[in-house]
Amino acid sequence: DGGITQSPKYLFRKEGQNVTLSCEQNLNHDAMYWYRQDPGQGLRLIYYSQIVNDFQKGDIAEGYSVSREKKESFPLTVTSAQKNPTAFYLCASSSQRTGAIHYGYTFGSGTRLTVV
Amino acid sequence: AQSVTQLDSHVSVSEGTPVLLRCNYSSSYSPSLFWYVQHPNKGLQLLLKYTSAATLVKGINGFEAEFKKSETSFHLTKPSAHMSDAAEYFCVVSPISNFGNEKLTFGTGTRLTIIP
């Protein structure tokens, strides 16, 4: 079955440590996205990529980094510069073409990151 | 630019009674509109979408939504609530344009509680 796989489901980070969240999709989607979700604040966009080897900052990119070396993969690194990283992180993808109506995102099941 | 407002942060209904979750949008173009559902510690699942076809859209699990351009609304309804409907619901907007690659804009969410 096609879908998006996020791993790990739970992740614990020590102060000053970088951690990487994995996101893999087998939907052949061009675009991929990372969102952060905090209680009562909805979803906030961290980074997105519309094509391999290209990505753009979202609304809250500071303290995060990404790469898009393969169409299927869009890992997110939470660096030590992110002062409040405890949150639920969601990866999404979509198939987008010029002139096409937007058909929405497919989401992964999320990674809960906790600073210990 | 587009925006979306979910008018209620929390809605409680009794099991077997109707559900109404309200959403208003603002968009520079004719929009695509979506409702997503999120159960605790899970990713978001697409309930239904409007993409300029029929204004009354039927989705999964008995939900439906009506696009009303004159009122700039896209309210989500269900005739009879079930305990399994308890979740967070997000209204989402994206413009229809010649590019088809715009990011989705999420509402802040409505938490639906079902009273036994």
Distance CA A66, CA B63 (A): 36
B5 compared with B27, residue with greater pLDDT: B5
Residue A67, chain B, CB below 8 Å: the answer is: no
- Chain B residues 84-113 within an 8 A CB cutoff of chain A: 90, 92, 94-96, 98-104, 106-109
The pLDDT score that the predictor gives to residue B40 is: 87
Q: B113 pLDDT exceeds 80? A: yes
Residues A67-82: tens digit of each pLDDT: 999 999 999 999 988 8
The pLDDT score that the predictor gives to residue A57 is: 94
What does each C-alpha distance from B21 to A17, A38, A75, B60 come to in angstroms? 41, 21, 34, 15
Name chain B contacts of A105, Cβ cutoff 8 Å.
Answer: 44, 46, 104
Q: B16 pLDDT exceeds 70? A: yes
What does each C-alpha distance from A59 to A35, A100, A110 come to in angstroms? 10, 25, 19
As a whole number, mean pLDDT of residues B74-79 equals 98
> Shortest Cα distance from B8 to chain A (angstroms)?
12
Asked if A98 and B51 come within 8 Å (Cβ–Cβ), the reply is no
With CA atoms as reference, the chain B residue closest to A44 would be B106
Residues B21-60: tens digit of each pLDDT: 999 998 777 788 999 999 988 899 999 998 877 889 999 9
What does each C-alpha distance from A49 to A55, A61, A90, A115 come to in angstroms? 4, 13, 14, 27
DSSP string over B24-68: EEE-SSPEEEEEEEE-TTS-EEEEEEESSS-SEEE-GGG-EEEEE
